[in-house]
Amino acid sequence: MHNSNPLSYSQIIPTQMKQLLDDGSVTDSSLADNVTVDPVVRGFIRDWDAIEDLLHHVLYSGLGWEIGNEGQILFTDPLCTPKANKEQLVQLMFETFNISGFYASEQAVLSLYAVGRISGCTVDIGHGKIELGKSNPQVNISMSDVEKIKELYSCCAEDELAYQKTGYSCPVEKHTLPDGQVITIGRERYTVGEALFQPCLLGLEAHGIVDQLVRAISTVSSDNQRQLLENTVVCGGTSSMAGFEERFQKESSLSSSAVQPTLVKPPEYMPENLTMYSAWVGGAILAKVVFPQNQHITKADYDETGPSIVHRKCF
């Protein structure tokens, strides 16, 4: 989500929320697991009442909007967002928040814009795109804790042989969970990355991430394949793990494809953690184009056509 106001600033907040009692207090902490609300699941809005509360907090408390003087807003959409969801979102923003302008664009496209490309292909392995299991089913651990552990410890081996060697010798670390449980992290830190290139490690009958990319691009015309593969962008938090880009490029060099995928390096002036927030950065770039040039959905557009306008003006 990007606020097009030039005086805006970024906020990074979790979408998980706590349910409050009628008096505004948080419910009994012993029931905490039962009263958390996740309005966004795997990138898609699932609880519209909760997302309305979250947006109200972000826009008015976080970004300092004033009721009656709302601005313009750009949303980033996950790939394959249902049409009904898009319409419900634009309806919520105009009818409940009374915004003056709306635009939405797919996250994969915005990630290309973030590195200065207007064509290419995006490999998104961020939150909500990848599912990871537990090596010990007896450990009681939430997915949010799994994600934190992944960010702290996961890494990619140099190649398949290097990963095999971790089975004989691998550093072991102990990690204390919020509830006091102590878990041991060993080879799992490498398995997280290796599974992207060898899904069979998780019992999945699927091709590795580079092979999937090549197969997907092989379906387009041969004239466009080089342009796409030679402008490959990886994004999402998982892609920022140590050694991932090097391993991706090495696997690409071993590909039997006539055109090998080549990663686009972001401009030097971009932040180091661009892979985690590339859709937001691309959205910020796009917002500076669509709103000043009046390519967005205006309140008049919405009043005339209704929510379906989002399919005509946002693509």
Q: Which residue ranges make up each domain of the chain? A: 35-111+277-313, 121-263
Task: Give the number of other CB atoms < 10 A from CB of residue 95.
Answer: 11
Which of 5-14, 170-179, 196-205, 230-239 has the lowest average pLDDT?
5-14
What pTM, to 2 d.p., does this model score?
A: 0.84
pLDDT average, residue stretch 108-135: 81
User: How many angstroms separate the Cα of 97 from the Cα of each of 2, 90, 137, 257?
Assistant: 15, 10, 44, 49
User: Is 80 exceeded by the pLDDT of residue 255?
Assistant: yes
For 280-296, write each residue's pLDDT tens digit. Answer: 999 999 999 999 999 99
Domains 35-111+277-313 and 121-263 share a fold: yes
Q: Measured between alpha carbons, how far is 288 from 293 in angstroms, rounded to an integer? A: 9
Mean pLDDT of 154-182: 91
3-state secondary structure of 4: coil
Q: How confident is the model at residue 7 (pLDDT cuts 50, 70, 90)?
A: very low
Mean pLDDT across the chain? 87
CATH classification code of 35-111+277-313: 3.30.420.40
- Take residue 44 and report the two structure tokens written for it: 């898609």
**The residue to which tokens 């008015």 are assigned:** 60
25-80 per-position pLDDT tens digit:
655 555 545 578 889 888 889 999 999 999 999 999 988 999 999 999 999 998 88
Question: What dotted CATH number matches 121-263?
Answer: 3.30.420
Query: Which residues have a Cβ under 8 Å from the Cβ of 26 and sit 6 or more positions away?
Result: 18, 19, 20
